[in-house]
Amino acid sequence: MPFIAVAESMPDAAPDALTIDEIVAAMLAVVDVLPPAQRPLAECRGAVLAHAVTAPVDLPHRCVASRDGYAVRAVDTSTATSACPVHLPVVGESAPGVASPEALPTGSAFRVMTGTPLPDGADAVVRSEDAVAAAPEGGVHEIGVIHPVARGQFVADAGSEFEHGAEVLPAGTVLGPAELAVMAALGLADALVVPRPRVAVVVTGSELRRVRADPELTQLHASNGVLVTAMVEACGGVVESVRVASDDPSELADALLAALRADLVLTTGGTGRGANDLTSRVLQEREVSSLRDVKVRGSRPASFRLLRRDDRLVPHLALPGRPVAATIAFCLLAWPLLRHLSARPPQRAASVRARLGAIPPGVRTFQRFLPVRLRRCGREWEAVPTRDASLYGLAAAVGAHGFALVGQEHGEVAAGRLVQVVVPPWLDTVAHDAD
């Protein structure tokens, strides 16, 4: 992936150009996976199993019907034909949650529904459509079987899903709806998992106001808090808190220190070298240990640190304040961190090689990352720039499939040139379609 970064203050690394993969590897090398915790199943969606799950019982617990119909002894139906049905009296009916009789008399049938247990002695099920119901004189209900059934036909044996003691889910499984349902079916109410990372978001800048507040002409709504929250949740994290902090050092320090209760701290803004970009200085002034400092050159500055709070080390990633730049830094840096914290396999942001489409008027091509929409043109992808993203980039990002790497460092930008497009994780089906 040809995305270049600059690393500073990293052991065994000169401040030379490094690839994003090298930057991510350096971050993950100093960040521990979250410790396992026992959680109820209702809180485990998206979490990673810390140990294998084995079946505590057979599933199903005993032989059950796999079709609606009649439990029978297969031998009793061996001569059945449509011209000469075998008539069997129906001696009972099974209902969900109700125990079946101890034994099925020879030459009889028992009404069953899908998933209900078979009575002892029954070894097959005649489907409802293969039996003709009748009520002869005397009111004794019976069926006429028009096709013979083989032993075991339409029967799910005990343990046919999972046998007692068998491994059901290996360690490292990401728990989705099906996996959680299997555990519940086995009677497991909770699981030992690596939990989804808890993330604290701090949006910095004296010009920002909460979304519900009425900003003055010189102020802005803090949309980055909503942006980062949505990205975290789309990538499997849990946002624990969102705070808007001004450039007052005391207020900013309080917000950052409170955020260190989370597993990961994400801030926006305060990554540049301006007089009001205080994040770095506040962390140093408050004597929070800065163990690593990585500055990434891609769109706008971003930085990574490992911070100390009490006996815990908490990763902190400072994203740029501009929304498009924050999105790119999140895709390249925060997403791998979230995966690592939750014990998911390493995976970098997807990218697509595409041919740059026509550049709309007003789009400034000196931007390093340009919001684009992807579309198929024969065997190639075409990346069509949306609109100018030089300031906020919000309008340009709406409907964009990714961000094309362009700019002066990569030669003259013109339609028809091949570019690399970063595809956000929540849109990576576009990238998979390109493979």
Q: Which of 422, 41, 44, 428 is nearest to 238 (CA)?
A: 44
> What SS3 state is found at 207?
coil
| Per-position DSSP letters for 108-163, written without gaps between them | -EEEE-TTPBPPTT--EEEEGGGEEEE--TTS--EEEE-S---TTTTEE-TTSSB-
Q: Which of 15, 24, 18 is nearest to 4 (CA)?
A: 18
Q: Which of 198, 234, 203, 239 is nearest to 323 (CA)?
A: 203
Handedness of CA 67, 70, 75, 77 (dihedral sign): negative
For 139, left (φ over 0), alpha (ψ -120 to 50), or beta?
left
Please give the model's pTM, rounded to 2 decimal places: 0.75
Give the pair of three-digit tokens for residue 229: 């929250």
Give the pair of three-digit tokens for residue 73: 């002894």
Please give the distance of CA 11 from its chain centroid, rounded to a whole number. Answer: 33
- What pLDDT is attached to residue 219? 44
Domain edges within the chain = 4-34+196-341, 38-59+161-194, 64-156, 350-434
Q: What are phi and psi of 39, to 5 degrees?
A: -135, 145
Q: Give the residues across from 385 on adjacent strands.
A: 372
Q: Give the residues across from 352 on adjacent strands.
A: 421
- What pLDDT is attached to residue 89? 93
Give the pair of three-digit tokens for residue 299: 């769109």
Question: Residue 300 and residue 298: Cα distance in Å, rounded?
Answer: 6
First to last CA, the chain: 15
HSE on the CB side for 258, CA within 13 Å? 14
Architecture of domain 64-156: Beta Complex (2.170)
> What SS3 state is found at 356?
strand
Element (H, E) at 314: strand 312-319
- What pLDDT is attached to residue 393? 63
Q: Under CATH, domain 350-434 is a member of which superfamily?
A: MoeA, C-terminal, domain IV (2.40.340.10)
- Tens digits of residue pLDDT in 152-189: 999 999 999 999 999 999 999 999 999 999 999 999 99
Give the pair of three-digit tokens for residue 308: 């100390």
- Tens digits of residue pLDDT in 340-395: 999 998 887 788 899 988 776 655 555 567 888 898 888 899 998 886 555 546 66
Residue 237: count other Cβ atoms within 10 Å of its Cβ.
Answer: 27
Give the pair of three-digit tokens for residue 198: 């808890």
Give the pair of three-digit tokens for residue 176: 């989705």
Please give the C-alpha separations between residue 359 and each of 72, 129, 327, 364, 388, in angstroms, as whole numbers: 73, 65, 22, 9, 10
Residue 225: CB partners within 8 Å, gap ≥ 6? 201, 203, 211, 242, 244, 268
Give the pair of three-digit tokens for residue 14: 């000169």
Q: Which of 223, 224, 207, 225 is nearest to 215 (CA)?
A: 207
Residue type, 433: D
Q: Which of 198, 432, 173, 179 is nearest to 338 (CA)?
A: 198
Please give the C-alpha separations between residue 361 and each of 136, 358, 365, 387, 402, in angstroms, as whole numbers: 86, 9, 10, 8, 20
CB contact at 8 A, 215 and 176: no
Q: Under CATH, domain 4-34+196-341 is a member of which superfamily?
A: MoaB/Mog-like domain (3.40.980.10)
- What pLDDT is attached to residue 132? 87
Task: Look up the CATH number of domain 38-59+161-194.
Answer: 3.90.105.10
- What pLDDT is attached to residue 159? 92
Low-confidence ranges of the chain (pLDDT < 50): 1-16, 206, 217-219, 275-276, 286-293, 296-298, 392, 410, 431-435
Question: Residue 163 and residue 209: Cα distance in Å, rounded?
Answer: 58
